[in-house]
Structure 1
Amino acid sequence: MIGKFLDRFCLGLRVLLGVLMGALSVPVAMQVLSRYTGIIPSFLWTEELATFLFIWIVMIGSVVAVWDGTHFDVRITRDFKSPFLAFLQNGIVHLAIMVFGLLFLFYGIEYAEFGGKQRSVMMRANLMITHISVPIAGGLWMLLAGYRLSQDISTFLGRKGVNT
C-alpha cells in the first residue's frame, strides 16, 4: 500500500519534471533568440528563471532516481550472487543515501533560512524558492531509500526463510 502511494507520488514528480522541462525551454529559447538573432531584446531575468527551474529539475530528478534505483552509486566490488552479500551491498547503498539525505535535510533547513533573507538580482525573487529544494530532496531521499531498504530486508528475510 505504501509502495503504491510512493510509486504514484514519483509518477507525479515525473509529470512535474516534464512540465518544468517545458517551462525551462521558454527562457532558454528567449536567451538564444536575444543573443544570436536580435529578434527580441535581451532580458536578464531569463537567466535567473532558467537557473531556478534547473535547480528544481535536478533536485526532483534526484528524488525520482532514488526511487528508481538509477541514482549514481559507485560499486567498488562486483555484484554478488550470494543473497546475503547482495542484500548487504544494496543495504549499504540505501543507508548511505539515507545518511546523505539526513545531512541535506539538517543543513538544508539552515541553507533555506539563509536563502529566505536574500533576493535574486534581476527578478527580486526570494531565494528560498530554490534553497528550499535542498531539505525537501534530502527528506524525500531518506523516505524513499528507507522504503527500499525495508523492501530489501523483507525480501532477504523471505528468501532466507524459504531456503532454510
Structure 2
Amino acid sequence: MVGKTLETFCNGLRVLLGVLMAALAVPVAMQVISRYTGLIPTYLWTEELSTFIFIWIVMIGSMVAVWDGTHFDVRIFADAKTPFLRLVQSGFVHLAILFFALLFAFYGVEYAQFGGNQRSVMMRANLLLTHISVPIAGTVWSVLISYRLWEDLQTYLASRKAAS
C-alpha cells in the first residue's frame, strides 16, 4: 500500500519533470534566438527563469533517483552473497543517504528562510521559490529512503523465513 502510494507520487514527479523540461525550453530558446539572431530583444529575466526551473529539475530529479535507486553509489566491496551481508551492504548506503537527507531537511529550513528574505535581480522574484526546494527534497528523500530501508529489512526477514 505504502509502496504503491510512493510509486504513484514518484510517477507524478516524473510528469512534473517533463513539464519543467518543456518549460525550460522556452526561456533558453528565447536566450539563443536573441543572442544569435537579433530577431527578438535580449531579455535578461530569461536567464534567471531558466536557472530557477533548472534548480527544480535537479531537486525533483534527485527525488526520483532516490526512489529508483539510480543515485550515485560507489561499491568498494563485491556484492554480498548472504542475505545478512546484502542487508548490511544496502542498509549502509541507505542509512548514509538518510543521514544526508535529514541534514538537507533540517538545515534546508534555515536556508529557505534566508532565501525568503531576498529577491532576484532581474525578475524581483522572492528567492524562496528556489531555496525551498532544499528542505522539500530532503524531506522527500527521507521518506523514500526510509521505505527502501524497510524493504531491505523485509527482504532479509523473508529470506531467513524461507531458509528455516
TM-score range normalised by the length of the shorter chain:
over 0.9
C-alpha root-mean-square deviation of aligned residues, in Å? 0.6
Q: Which amino acid in structure 2 is aligned with residue 69 of structure 1?
A: G
Q: Given residue 21 of structure 1, which amino acid in structure 2 is its aligned partner?
A: M
Residue 93 (str. 1) matches residue 93 (str. 2): yes
Structure 2 partner of 1:76? 76
- Paired amino acid for 2:27: P
Number of residue pairs matched by the alignment? 164
Alignment of 1:2-41 (within 5 A): 2-41=2-41
Task: Tell me, in whole angstroms, the C-alpha distance in 1 between the residues paired with 2:36 and 2:88.
Answer: 54
1:87 deviates by 1.2
Please give the per-residue CA displacement for 1:100-125, whole angstroms capped at 9, x wherever unaligned. Answer: 01000111000000000000000000
Give distance in 2, aligned partners of 1:79 and 1:33.
50
In 2: Cα distance, 1:127 partner to 1:81 partner = 49
Aligned equivalent of 2:50: 50
Please give the secondary structure, in 2, of the residue aligned with 1:74.
coil
Q: Once structures 1 and 2 are overlaid, which stretch shifts more, 78-87 or 65-74? A: 78-87
Q: 1:74 deviation in Å?
A: 1.2
TM-score by length of structure 1 reads 0.98
In structure 1, runs of 5+ residues without a counterpart are none
Please say which of residues 23-32 and 74-83 is displaced more in the overlay.
74-83
Which residue of structure 2 aligns with residue 61 of structure 1?
Answer: 61
Distance 2:78 2:35 in 1: 49
Structure 2 gaps of 5+ residues are none
Percent identity between the two aligned chains: 70
What is the aligned partner in structure 2 of residue 116 from structure 1? 116
TM (norm. structure 2) is 0.98
Shift of the alpha carbon at 1:59? 0.2
Q: CA deviation at 1:81?
A: 2.0
